[in-house]
Structure 1
Amino acid sequence: MKYPMYSLFLAAAVFGATHTSCSESTPAGSAETVAAAKDGFEITGQLRNAPAGTKVYLSELTETQFVSRDTAATDAQGRFKFKGSVTETGLYQVKVNEANQVLLALDNKTKVQLTGDAQKLGTDYTVKGSKDSEMLQQVTRTMNQSRKSLESLNARFQANGQAGREDSMKIIEQQFYKAQAYSTASLKKLMLQNPKSVVSAFVMTNLVNPDENFGFADSLATGLKASIPNSRYTKALVAKLEPLRKTAVGTVAPDINLATPDGKTVSLSSLRGQYVLLDFWASWCGPCRQENPNVVRTFNKYKDKNFTVYGVSLDQDKGKWEKAIQADGLTWTHVSDLKGWQSAAGQAYGVTGIPMNFLLDPQGKIIAKNLRGEQLEARLAKVLK
């Protein structure tokens, strides 16, 4: 069984692993940049447990990494200061070391006061003077709480899996889904309260799955295009949403015409009139193979009630594909062009990770995405009642 780790992965990527990457550039506090604008930002900080001379680093979050902008050192009271100017409102990292860092939003009118514990900076800090930075602190708190909850549930899930307690695993899985939903709801509430903020654009692009929340994301992007159209964060969100538009919930699923293992071409549209689970997977994908028993169980339960599955494999080896179909007891329609990630169907649906699925109604319209385990059964029970 695949255990969903989407929120946890995002939390680690943005509030942890991404921070390890940085490169040198012109310091934000240099004479050149300070003189470039009449106004400028100022960060006044004071850290507990920071001996005199403790280095503090300021980095800018670009599209792919943190880029070093300036360095300061604390005095005997743990105080430090950064001054400089920016070309647009952006997100910046103030870091003592990899384990102790915070995110701030800076523009050329920002005067931020930052206080905290240098040894617990990620969880013990206060920021004042910037509404966007205060929002980032709320986001950080939400993600930290989510990470702790999901890590605990994942540990329990794995322990019960090793003990063979499948009933307990199902209960924990549902708790995991609820915890994910709660975290997403909390972040969406913050974005609704700050619809014109670059932080909202950043959060929607990086911390909330825009594919599963397309309507919300599209509405937010529309507002951001009106309020801060030139922001790189607005542009990043718009760019991320564009390829998702053609497979958003409510749209008619793009047709697929690929060959089955025996060489016969079967189109997705040929299954119109039934509810169809369009399932992207591969024989080499461990999480896919773990999820297959859930799909088999659901298929067997509803196959005589106007439901079927259309499996699209991202395999490249026909023999391994066929062997996996047989081994996992996948008795529905299977197609593939054996081009792996270059699969025409995968590219048409913007597939960048598997397993990934789409539930279609009898008219071929997408009504849900990425239903796992009992979620799929629950949705089918509702539509096929």
Structure 2
Amino acid sequence: MKRLVTIAMISLLFLGCKSEPKRTDFIINGTAKDVYNGVRAYLKVKQQNGRARVIDTAIVVNEKFTFTGNVLNPTFSLIAINSVNGELDFMLENNQIDININKSDIKQSTIIGSESHADYKIYRDNILELVKETKRLKMQLRNRKIRDSISKLHKIAEKKQQEAPINFIDTHRDSYYSLTLMEQEISKNNADIEAYLKAFNNLDSDIKSSTKGNAIKINLEKSLADYLKTAQIEIGKVAPNFEAPNLDGKMVSLNDVKGKVTIIDFWAAWCGPCRRENPNVVRIYNKYHDQGLEIIGVSLDGTRNQKDPKNAWLNAIKKDELTWTHVSNLQYFQDPVAQLYNINAIPATFILDEKGKIVAKNLRGRALELKVQELLK
């Protein structure tokens, strides 16, 4: 008998501790004090292009309105109400969300029931404080007497502001708002993609495996690949070595050709601007070759419009009197060398110093000659 009672008590305890099933829909209960009957309220979601799309409309009745629906993942959203200035931004998720609209300042409205919104508010309040502090210190920089001491504090404040997004994500690995924040930040031109990919990999597994998580991972990996393509050919980097067939089909590498100054010239027989620039390049080569200037021409001939790409390439070299080293795979913009150097338009040039470092790009005319002169001296 005692055993049966014990089993029953354990069963009741288990049932009592069982978590409620996760909601698969949302209901927004809005209160809009002093907003007249019949006024429309709009629920919008932010799209990847930054624009907001209306997904539901409600009518205010007795100072109340309701939205219902569902979202795959917590989503950055907006509420707008006719006759109320501005919009209320918040994180929409599948839950009961109670919103009390502040008619005089909609951004001061209260939102209860969205965990991801609570995280968004923590981040927003923190970043606003950091921005405020940075501006305050910037104003003090006008005072010459304290400029030196304030300058250090201003740099520290700026750094904190720049690092705020990644720091938030690292300390909120179980938050869906971390995904939203990451999505916003990686779209910026100066985003540290490697740092954000590392932060993404540290997120909780259910966050990473969500629909939005999978989309962001794909975006991050693509952005990292694009970044690595351009990072290795930035000014100051050693130019990547390559190997391609010369006029006789023999493999020639960049390292075989390098001089005191080296120009990598991407061009093609069909490229009008390239051919018009060739006389200038010929003049510079003839003038400075004996002093250490070398050129390697990489042809992007091989377009479908060419009946005989190799013959067109050879004829252009002969006609334009291009007496330096030439290589080509005759694969148009699919040429491996062109892809290595992320070439999407020609003419394109890379100027290297005697150590093989890229010191300039895409110089023409007098500017090209002046840079060659400078490096040779």
Which structure has the bigger radius of gyration? 2
TM-score, length-normalised on structure 1?
A: 0.47
Q: Which has the higher contact order (CA 8 A, sep 6+)?
A: 1
TM-score, length-normalised on structure 2?
A: 0.48
